[in-house]
Structure 1
Amino acid sequence: MPGTVVTAGVVACAAAAAIGLATVGAASAFSQRLAGVADAAALAAADAASGAVTGIPCARAAEVAGASGAAVVACELDDLVATVRVSATFARLPATATARAGPPPEPATPSQ
């Protein structure tokens, strides 16, 4: 039965590769979800800063992030533009995402 050991080794390597790929896929999905949470928190802060909704901008961002299981690490306002950084853990490892939201920039006037 010399092929049994080789077969067992191939199966073990395939299982290890599958577990590794599944972990990488889960981490990638978590990263995208966290980026979405940062986007939503920044939009909430920008809406509060503009007066579209009531409340304190960074408190609104923390409320939205907390509803998704993340925490606001930094929240900065520059007039009506909000920049928010959120953090959460994936497999006991910290992950962060940053997003910016606000009104669109003024269009450039063509020079004549």
Structure 2
Amino acid sequence: MGMAVVATMVALAGLVVPVGVVLVARQGVANAADAAALAAADAASGAIGGYPCDVADVAAGLNAATVTGCELDGLVASVTVSRTVLGFAIASSARAGPSP
């Protein structure tokens, strides 16, 4: 009986831990998208040097993500980034720019 309880707890932990890792990574990817969009918008406005989508790629890379989409509409940057965690592709998008 005791071994069955221990085995069940180990099995549940084996399921819960990866789910937790993916959920934490999802927030990290969202943060990477925010940082990349802000960096691209800053470059578009001239606040920092560089090409907006190149700067976004660097910002995403610093957050362990890869830019999969980058578009500019004037000074507004829309960026999509992704990262693969435990075999799951996680993507997030963000927009940044001056207030309308």
Scaled by the length of structure 1, the TM-score of the pair is 0.84
Q: Which amino acid aligns with 1:7?
A: G
Structure 1 residue 79 corresponds to structure 2 residue 74? yes
Q: Percent identity?
A: 49
Scaled by the length of structure 2, the TM-score of the pair is 0.93
Structure 1 residue 13 corresponds to structure 2 residue 8? yes
Structure 1 residues not aligned, in runs of 5+: 1-5, 106-112
Residue 47 of structure 1: aligned partner: 42
Q: 49, 61, 66: which is aligned to 1:66?
A: 61
Q: Matched residues in 1 for 2:38 and 2:60: separation?
A: 11
Specify which structure has the bigger relative contact order, considering alpha-carbon pairs within 8 angstroms and separated by 6 or more residues: 2
Q: Give 1 or 2 for the bigger CA radius of gyration.
A: 1
RMSD, matched Cα: 1.0
Q: Which amino acid aligns with 1:40?
A: A
Q: Matched residues in 1 for 2:64 and 2:35: separation?
A: 13
Q: CA deviation at 1:69?
A: 1.9
Residue 108 of structure 1: aligned partner: none
Structure 1 residue 29 corresponds to structure 2 residue 24? yes
Q: Cα deviations across residues 53-97 of structure 1 (Å, max 9, x unaligned)? A: 111000000011112221100001111111100011101221111
Q: How many residues align?
A: 100
Could you list the structure 1 runs, at least 4 aligned residues long, displaced by more than 6 angstroms after superposition. none
Q: Matched residues in 2 for 1:87 and 1:102: separation?
A: 21
Q: Matched residues in 2 for 1:29 and 1:46: separation?
A: 26
